[in-house]
Amino acid sequence: MNVTVTKSENYTLVSVEGRVDSTNAGEFEKSMLDVVAEGGNKIILDCSELNYISSTGLRIFLIVQKKMMANNGHFCLCGLQAGIKEIFDISGFSSIFKMFPDKESAI
């Protein structure tokens, strides 16, 4: 797994690549919470290179969403691959995250 953080004036773009699973979710959680702690108003998580996620990873998405909403911030996702979108649908996550086809439309 690789996480890349790019800060812009109005938003922070986080790109996650590879797999988020039980073996590395702690690392992903720390990266995301660091971004949240910096206090930006809008975080876009680019999932176009995310190949796999399990419930351990999903819980981190939910933690970030809760924190951002509590601060009146915005957290959105873009570029979800079909297999991952299906997991979001099953989990009822598709209705609690704003999702865009690509980062251009998320910005």
Closest contact distance (angstroms) between CB of 98 and another protein is 11
CB-based burial, 68-107: b 16+ in 10 Å, e otherwise: beeeebbbbbbbbeeebbebbeeeebeeebebbeebeebe
Region from 4-12, 18-26, 34-42, 99-107 binding another protein, contact rule CB under 8 A:
18-26
Site for another protein, residues 59 to 98, rule: CB under 8 A: 59, 62-63, 65-66, 69, 83, 87, 90-92, 96
**Nearer residue to another protein within complex by CB, 6 or 71:** 71
